[in-house]
Amino acid sequence: MFLRPFRGERVVKEFKIHIPSGLPKGEHRILLSDAETLNRIQTAAGLANRYIGIPQTVSLINQERSNSKLYVALVEARPTVYADDKTMPSLPASVLNVLQSGQTQNRTFITAGESASEQQAIPFDFVVNGSYNVKITVK
């Protein structure tokens, strides 16, 4: 990968990503991104629940990623549910239906259509901003 800092020469980093052997056939993507991109939905889940407690708030803060790293994640077309400070990736449809039918008025779930499993974080000496998708096909 190549990164272009605000000032200075282009930075070249090599990395390897593990593709799980059980990955379903079809289109998937590898997401190269900053911390903001990966934190965005999880932060929204915490903000959507006005009854979140101090322990959950502290947990959300501790889960935030650093803005001086580039994150490499494998993205699958499987739903993820965010509730308070919990992330439940790659949920089967049956579990998702049970969670949604059991919602109470003071608990809010945010559902995303994809699950991003973070593979690695590559540290830098500067702030990383932006994202890029690489489409892959599993045959």
Is 118 domain-assigned?
yes
pLDDT at 25: 87
Q: How far apart are CA 128 and CA 11, in angstroms?
A: 12
Please report whether residue 14 resides in a domain.
no
Q: How far apart are the first and last CA of the chain?
A: 24
Residue 12 lies in a domain: no
3-state helix, strand, coil in the chain (%, to 5): 25, 35, 40
Confidence check: pLDDT of 123 > 60: yes
CA 3, CA 11: separation in Å to the nearest integer? Answer: 5
7 in any annotated domain: no
Q: Is the pLDDT of residue 105 over 70?
A: no
* 33 occurs within a structural domain: yes
Residue 91 belongs to what domain range? 24-138
User: Is the predicted pLDDT of residue 10 greater than 70, yes or no?
Assistant: yes
* Cβ(87)–Cβ(39) below 8 Å: no
At 48 the pLDDT is: 67
53 three-state secondary structure: coil
Q: Per-residue pLDDT tens for 35-94?
A: 998 888 677 666 666 677 788 778 878 888 899 999 999 988 888 887 777 777 877 878
Q: Which region, left, alpha or beta, applies to residue 136 given φ > 0 means left and ψ of -120 to 50 means alpha?
A: beta
Q: Is residue 97 part of a domain?
A: yes
Q: Which of 92, 98, 62, 63 is nearest to 80 (CA)?
A: 92
pTM more than 0.95 = no
User: What value does the mean pLDDT take over residues 29-40?
Assistant: 89
What does the pLDDT read at residue 107?
61
Task: Please state the domain count of the chain.
Answer: 1
In a domain, 64, yes or no: yes
- Give residues with Cβ within 8 angstroms of 58, minimum separation 6: none
Domain for residue 4, yes or no?
no
Mean pLDDT for all residues in the chain: 82
